[in-house]
Amino acid sequence: MDKYPVATSCRNLTFHWGKRTYVMGIINLSPDSFSGDGLDSHDAAVAQARRMVSEGADIIDVGGESTRPDSIPINADDEIQRVVPVIERLSRMLSIPISIDTYKLDVARAAVTAGAQMLNDVWGLKKDNRLAGLAAERNLPIVITSNQRDNPCEGDVVAAIITDLKRAAGVCQDAGVARENIIVDPGVGFGKTVAQNLEIVRRLCELKTLGYPILLGTSRKSFIGRTLDLPENERLEGTAATVALGIAAGADIIRVHDVKEMVRVARMSDAIVRGKSQALNPNL
């Protein structure tokens, strides 16, 4: 097993991997967001991001296109108009890193110019591998997600995810991305069945063999709703369970909608998994 990088620097924050769990707050600027939290106002997005920071978010992730399986993709120009004004304002207001959730190079470039300091590609460089070149050029952390929507897995889903993430990490390395700037995401909800999503959380520790920090994004997703037979606005407790178990299995970053509640879940989980003195010290 490759050793994790010790730390990753991003804007004014240094991620000390293994010391505590970092929390990424989600800002959706798409009206058809799967979770029902899509915003159509730049002012509302800025206000939500500021509230998330006050609640303990370490990163703000801004996206302009829905990731719902049945959503209709939008063009890059429309996506830029949704996200860039918000990123420009947040980069002036906030000291924490801002991530851009996109798989389109033009959107990513515009977002980075506006102040984004992290890339989050839910297609794991399948749509446009030039995102890896942008990450290398600007020395940015990049999250690469294993997305099976184009090729559903009928066998061992965790093995398929590991193979796919090795591919994407290889693309990053070939482009010159620093090892410490690569973060992997198993892609819960992206082309997986309910049973497969549950298995991913249960076997998340197996991704440690890749030697990269792990981001887990389970918040409000449909596998929780189908497991508990609950709508989007009643999935808080189910999300909390996946976050706690994910942290116990090795998640380094959790990507969530409900920041206040999940920060508390993460701190409690860290107190158990990593030791109380480390979990409650914000400087670690």
CATH of the domain at 33: 3.20.20.20
One of 192, 221, 235, 267 is an active-site residue; which one?
A: 221
Is 255 an annotated catalytic residue? yes
**143 domain-assigned:** yes
One of 11, 19, 82, 255 is an active-site residue; which one?
A: 255
Cβ 164 vs Cβ 124: under 8 Å: yes
**281 domain-assigned:** no
pLDDT score for 140: 98
pLDDT score for 35: 46
Question: Would you give the end-to-end CA distance of the chain in angstroms?
Answer: 25
> Exposure of 92 by Cβ count < 10 A (0-12 exposed, 13-18 middle, 19+ buried)?
exposed
**284 domain-assigned:** no
The CA-based angle 173-128-36, given to 5 degrees, is 110
Per the structure, how many domains does the chain have?
Answer: 1
Q: Tens of pLDDT along the chain (284 residues)?
A: 467 889 999 998 999 999 999 999 999 998 765 444 567 789 999 999 999 999 999 999 999 998 777 778 899 999 999 999 999 999 999 999 999 999 999 999 999 999 999 999 999 999 999 999 999 999 999 999 999 999 999 999 999 999 999 999 999 999 999 999 999 999 999 999 999 999 999 999 999 999 999 999 999 999 999 999 999 899 999 999 999 999 999 999 999 999 999 999 999 999 999 986 555 555 54
**147 domain-assigned:** yes
**8 domain-assigned:** no
**135 domain-assigned:** yes
**27 domain-assigned:** yes
pLDDT score for 280: 56
Q: What is the CA radius of gyration of the chain?
A: 17
**243 domain-assigned:** yes
| Residues of the domain holding 99 | 21-273
